[in-house]
Homo-oligomer: A and B are copies of this chain.
Amino acid sequence: MRGTAELIFTGDELLRGDTVNTNQAFLGGRLLELGLFTTHAVSVTDDRKAIAHALVGALLRSPDVIILSGGLGPTEDDLTREGVAEALKRPLDMRDDLLALIAERFRKLDIAMGMSNRKQALIPHGATVIPLVGTAPGFWLDEGGVFVAALPGVPRELEQMWTDTLRPTLVDRFGIEEAVPSVRRLRLHGIGESMLADVLRDIPWRGAGVEIGTQASLDGITLTFSAQPDDRSRARLAELEELVRDILGTKIYGSEDDTLSGIVGMLLRDRNMTIATAESCTGGLLAKRLTDHAGSSDYFVGGVVAYSNRLKGTLLGVSPEILHTHGAVSEQTAAAMALGARERLQADCVIATTGIAGPGGGTPDKPVGLVYVATAIGSDVQVRRFNLFRSREEIRERAAYAALDVFRRRLLDSLER
């Protein structure tokens, strides 16, 4: 059996467009890793009756797990405790141990604790308190065989409570075998969805207890294998992963939460090499991605955003002749930017971008979305041309990811023994 889960979110901000519900994707993904497939996720207003109805409705479908999120704060709009108590017909107990912990937390923060915070120590009868992360306590309980938990809505607090308490509790409760994963995500770049579909069509995965899903986003495609939580299906998943890795090779840049910039950083660190960036159309985004990671100063020395033609000359030494003859968006300019940056910023490698992000500025010869990426490894420069699409934002994001991936593959090729 594959288990099921339901999610209930409370908060007007989720319903009036002020907040995108990232907790739903987080919990859905983490539950799936435990073999628990989320079948319903509902967002309701900050209303006691609405919360109670949502919980009663979920219980009627008898999932294995129900997680509520939000509505555990101190304000009069925080009504999850009351909603759960009403739905389950359990009284709320004032937990003095919890009250003392909350008071202690306020003392440490040197903030006066209001009367309203006292109600945060109320917990449905029979529930287990989840150790505090912020000041909003979560809890979990068993309701006729269904595991019901309530977590705060603040993503940081929710995520930590999941990792520290809820996940181990669920692993224990359902006797989940963690040695062999039942979900595997591979990250791909440089392959289209239709080509990937062709590849997958030839792989004998159907009916073998493993489902496969693909999800395209700006940084490539994520290929998700999810196995039934039994040993045979999991072994099958591992075989399939090996098979797919053989076929797709370096088109797979990583797995699970890997990012292209993180992988590039790791490769540079392994090889004890440094990198610099020379950007036009990506406008700093490439440098930003490379510095997303703690410790990136070990390999990233710096970058130049040469947005104007003048700065392409003064900061990167691109000659007026090149700019005049070939234009700022050209193979020649991209190459000159990379070589100039290598010399002036003194790095082992450079990634340079120049292109037309739009929405204006395109011509029949050089349409919006045309982007040149030059990569230098030592003095060896190569230029790749891309035709990217959609909005300005998407073109810039795609250009930065494409640039990172071109560089990654060159690094793997050039340094293979």
Contact = CB atoms under 8 A, between A and B. Distances in A.
A291 B283 contact: yes
Interface stretch (A13-21, A91-99, A201-209, A402-410): A13-21
Contact of A294 (B57, B224, B285, B392): B392
A103 to B, nearest CB: 19
Contact of A307 (B13, B284, B301): B301
A28 B16 contact: yes
Nearest to A54: B40
A28 B40 contact: no
A228 interface: no
Contacts of A249: none
Contact of A287 (B15, B38, B284): B284
A304 interface: yes
B37 A28 contact: no
Interface in A8-65: 12-22, 24-30, 32, 37-45, 50, 57
Nearest to A42: B42
Contacts of A42: 40-43
A287 to B, nearest CB: 3
A123 to B, nearest CB: 26
B311 A301 contact: yes
Contact of A315 (B26, B41, B284, B304): B304
B294 A284 contact: no
A150 interface: no
Interface string A168-188: 000000000000000000000
Contact of A17 (B25, B292, B310, B392): B25
A350 interface: no
Nearest to A286: B284
A14 B28 contact: yes
Given A283-B288, A285-B284, A302-B315, A21 B15 contact: no
Nearest to A57: B57
A297 interface: yes
B17 A21 contact: no
A345 B390 CA distance: 31
A137 interface: no
A71 interface: no
B45 A39 contact: yes
B284 A18 contact: no
Q: Chain B CB within 10 Å — which of A14, A37, A42 has the most?
A: A42
Copies in the complex: 2
A297 B391 CA distance: 17
Contacts of A391: 156
A52 to B, nearest CB: 14
Contacts of A291: 283-284, 305, 307, 396
A303 interface: yes
A320 interface: no
A295 interface: yes
A359 interface: yes
A335 to B, nearest CB: 19
Interface string A361-400: 0000000000000000000000000000011110010000
A358 interface: yes
A17 B41 contact: no
Given A13-B215, A40-B42, A287-B284, A222 B18 contact: yes
A41 B15 contact: yes
A147 to B, nearest CB: 18
A64 to B, nearest CB: 15
A290 interface: yes
Contacts of A17: 25-30, 32
Nearest 5 Cβ contacts at the A-B interface = A17-B29, A284-B287, A283-B291, A284-B284, A284-B288
6 contacts: A19-B215, A24-B43, A277-B284, A284-B287, A302-B306, A302-B308
